[in-house]
Structure 1
Amino acid sequence: MEITYEVLLLLMLLAGAAALQFFRGRKLNIMLMEHYLRAIEPFLRPYRDRNFTLIGGYVGFKAEYQIFRGNIKVLEYTLTLLPRQSLLYFPISLLTSRHDKLYVVVRPYSEITRGVHAIQKGYYRVRPKIEDEAILNKVIRTVEGVTFEVLYEREKDVELIVDLLKSFPRVKDVKHISLTRSTNVVYVLMRPRPEDIRDSIRAIINFVNTRLSEHFIS
């Protein structure tokens, strides 16, 4: 098969564009990882230890902070970024993953005795399994124009999770909050933004250290 000049030129242009996208995308993802990591550490210090693992080189990390202070034993902070370094996969990821994702898991000292969940309507294509869903009540709540399905045992648990939602700088960026009884964790899935990350983490930490420590006593 003869390769024409036009085909060769097209291949060279694609190779150049892929290389340019790789270096620009890698630089941006590295900058985002550094920013998201630096932004939260002032709220977590002093911590006893930190374990840090890169995910795929340029697409995120998992950091585990052993706090053992206030109502927080451990905070896990996992960031997954869109593959901005890949010219071919990046457009596909905008359709599949849609946005960068931040997963925050807090392991508190206080005991979570009832499951409570808030899931943004329409976010999941296939909703994850919810512990004890069959016995939980369900209600639709709109918070600052964003609709959530709330699963709960007691009515006051609805207000607890709605108050947590309201404390975030952008409610629309919060996709799923779960207070899980069996694992005794607070779980938050959200879309991170560089300008909001400090306020978002502050909201989670303040919630665990104040509201959560008292809520499940009765």
Structure 2
Amino acid sequence: MSRLRRVLEGERDAGISIAELVVTMMVSMILLAMVGSFFIQTAQVTSASNQTRVTIGDVTNMQNELTGRVRVASETTLTGAVTAGVTTAEARRLVFYAWSDTDAIDMRMSRVTVTVSASNIVTVQTCKGTSSGGIWSYPCTNAADVTTRTFDDLPLVNPSGSEKRLFTYWNRCGAQLGNASGTVASADLAKIQRIDVSVKAKTIGTPDRSALYLTSPLYLANIKSQVVCP
């Protein structure tokens, strides 16, 4: 009887051993680490998704800004001679005349200048012209006639692989114009019949791998072709 009492009393006094306590603590720490890692990864995925959505919207806006103006490039008359609608054609710089930003009240033609800075920031400047006797001039001295939009939060990223530069130029026969650096010679400006606008950009402060690439071929319907295809 006394032996049975000792056994029962011993069971009542039994507790968790040091080894069991250490194992329990280790398992708890592992579970806490897994839960914390899950929440961190979820936050990172959500942040990346939001950033991607912002980048898509911003790059699309830039693409629309450029294509909307290039699409309406037109020939104009300067100092009595009909000139090509495009007067400067480079990989990162484009100057052309267009019926841009016109309405029922203001039907003046514009000179559009697109430039890319050394820090890869795109600027679009539109200058309203003045017509006298059918001859257009663009002094651009009146602030009301000049509008400038700078995409300072959306730097370009250099193209890679088969991706194109910001501007590439083609004649009506499908032959690409320009030298190795993408600059079209003055004698060939009147031959430009198509301009491909290819934007590869990212939201500022994000890595280059997050850049979005969009390209659009634009046929210049308002400019007469100076090339006869074989």
With the length of structure 1 as denominator, give the TM-score of the two structures. 0.30
User: In terms of Rg, which structure is larger?
Assistant: 2
Q: What is the TM-score with the length of structure 2 in the denominator? A: 0.28
